Amino acid sequence: MNIRDILADIHALEEELLDFERKFGIRSETFYAAYASGEEPEDDNWMLDFGEWASVYRTWLTRQAEYRDEIQKIQRQSPSLAGLIRVAA
């Protein structure tokens, strides 16, 4: 994936995360910390949502790391913001 693809994926994932946050009224990082520690949903109807939410969040974390790695590679070649934008565009 190139930097533009990664960024587009991050934005799409953030939209999905926002949908879950609006539905359940908490931020994704708060949800994920509880979910990762083994907390079960109160309502069995939430089980599929929680699994999907966790999966989307993990993918988002992965894409964030990929973005940071790609930006660092690009910055080694073009350390200025203008150079970074030129290379990323």
pTM: 0.86
DSSP state of 14: H
- 10-residue block means of pLDDT along the chain (89 residues)? 93 98 97 93 88 97 96 81 69
DSSP state of 25: S
pLDDT value of residue 89: 65
Query: In angstroms, rounded to a whole number, what is the distance separating the alpha carbons of residues 79 and 19?
Result: 36
HSE, side-chain direction, 13 A CA sphere, residue 18: 6
pLDDT value of residue 13: 98
